[in-house]
Structures are given as structure tokens and as C-alpha cells.
Amino acid sequence: MTDKIVIGTRGSKLALVQAEWVRQQLQRKHPGIDTQLEIIRTTGDVKPDPLSVIGGKGVFTKELEDALGRRQIDVAVHSLKDLPTIIGDDLQLTAICEREDARDALILPATADNDVSSLSSLPHAAIVGTSSPRRVAQLQNIRPDVVVKDLRGNVDTRLRKLDEGQCDALILASAGLRRLGLTKRINLHIAIEQMLPAVGQGAIGLQTRGDDARVNDIVSQLNHDQTGLACTAERALLRALGGGCQLPIAAHATIVGSELTLDGLVASRDGSNIIRDRIAGPAAHAQSLGNELGARLLAQGAAQLL
């Protein structure tokens, strides 16, 4: 038995911030444990091509899962929205940490002297940078005139490209900007009613080996019950639709008291057709609520859009 836990993470600044937060939480709950970070490079980190070309499912997670399987690391820290809904039999999603702001954010160049109160107030034919089909579809549904520019790279790289004039605005996740201390760069928090987030957006998922009882007991203490149930419903919907992060699928669940409300959306890639629905019920039934809403969306024609 060892008192050491190796935490696997991607090497981006945001990933390291998230992993360091996890390390500190584990250390706070178990001061006697030696924790260390191990950087794992993933396909999504080393290939510059659009995610739609290299394949969106698992490109930021597979190598971390492989490192878990060969016991190079004990815990893999994921942005939950990147983690496929189907996990290998020998691995498990042991904890979902408390969610940060789940909304998308609109960012203007640092030198911009104007502000925006909504997506509707963007200039006509504005060039907006994003690499997310989900964001593209919803943005173009609201603003068909907007020109979308596929923009990949870490947050710093995208902000630099924006400030250099390569586009007029960016859409990024509020959670990542907040975790990086870049809240001041956010010009607009886009309302969830206007742009539904990605499944699991803003949440950190901790993956471990199913047979590692010692680590599982320790890591499970970082699970946040409400976030866990909300994300369970969202991930169940995504699984029911057979989708991943490179399809225009969105979902967001909230819990008030013991009731969970789940919104789900499927769109055509150009945003010309959007199917959106909502379900509510006991939070304890998160999985079945996600499955049911997924089935409803399919019955309304989601399969044809996907």
C-alpha cells in the first residue's frame, strides 16, 4: 500500500490549473498523501487539424485513459465535456466536481471600444471564432449573417488571434476563462436560453480504475452530488442520441430542491433546423430522465439532423 497518488492531466494551462485544483482538494482532505501531477499529451493537443478531421470523440481523453490502464497514473482529470459517455469496463467516472459557470462567453478584442449586450448586437457579418459545431449551429440560427471562423488552440492562443484581428469576436466557455483568471475578458455571458451549453460544460470529471478501491474511496470524496446528478442526466441524453462533442448536441440540467430540469437540443450544422425540448422529474432519476429526453428528441427528428 502506498500513500502516493499520481494525477494525470493534459499539459495546457487550463488543464494544469484544473489538475492543480484537484491535487489541492485531495491534499486538503488527506494531508498525509503524496500527490503529484503527470502530464500526458493527447491527440487533440499534438494535431493542429480541426477536431472534425481528426475525430472529436476521445481526442483529449484516450491517452489519459490508456495511462490509467497501464497504471502510469492513478487519477485522470478531464474537462467532463471532453469525456465520451461510454467508458471502458476497467475504468470508471468516480467523481464529478462542483460545476463552474456553465454558460458560453462572448469575447471582443482587448482594444474594442464598444460592448455587446447580446448576440444580436454584433455587427452585421461579424467574423466569430469558434471550433464547436454546437456553438456554430446555435449562433447561425440566431445570426445567419455571421461568418464563422474555425479557430483551435488553447485559450491564450485564441485570445492572441482575436487581438491580432483574425476575427471580430470569440466564443469560449466561461468556466475556462474564470479558472484562468481571465473573467475581465468576458464581454457577454451568453444566456443559456439563447445558447445551450455542451454536455458537462464547466464540470471536472475524475476517472480512475474500477479495481483501485483505495484511490476510488479517496477520489469519490470530491464528488459534488448536485453537479453529479445534473451531468448524469446530460450524459445519459448524449448517450441516447449516440453523439459526441463534435456533433451539434447541447444539454443542460439544473436542480432545485429534489427536482431536476433538463433541456436538450439537436441542430443541423448550419443552424437552420433546431429541435429543443425539456423534461423535469425527481433528481434521483437523472439517468432515466436523460434517456427519456433523448428518446423524445429522436422521435421529433433528431436522427435526421445527426
- Give me 281's grid cell: 422529474
Per the listing, cell 476575427 goes with 167
Distance CA 233, CA 236 (A): 5
Annotated catalytic, 150?
A: no
Which neighbouring-strand residues pair with 156? none
Q: Are 155 and 13 in contact (CB under 8 A)?
A: yes
Per the listing, cell 448517450 goes with 239
Distance CA 176, CA 188 (A): 14
Could you list the beta-strand ranges (E) of 90-244: 91-96, 104-107, 127-129, 147-149, 169-173, 188-189, 204-209
DSSP state of 72: S
Helix (H, G, I), strand (E, B) or coil at 76: strand
Question: How many C-beta atoms surround the C-beta of residue 70 within 10 A?
Answer: 7
Helix axes 286-299, 225-241, angle to 10 degrees: 30
Q: Which of 3, 45, 49, 82 is catalytic?
A: 82
Instruction: Provide the sign of the torsion angle of the four alpha carbons 252, 253, 256, 259, taken in this order.
Output: positive
Distance CA 213, CA 208 (A): 10
Radius of gyration of the chain (CA): 19
Distance CA 20, CA 286 (A): 30
Positions annotated as catalytic residues are 82
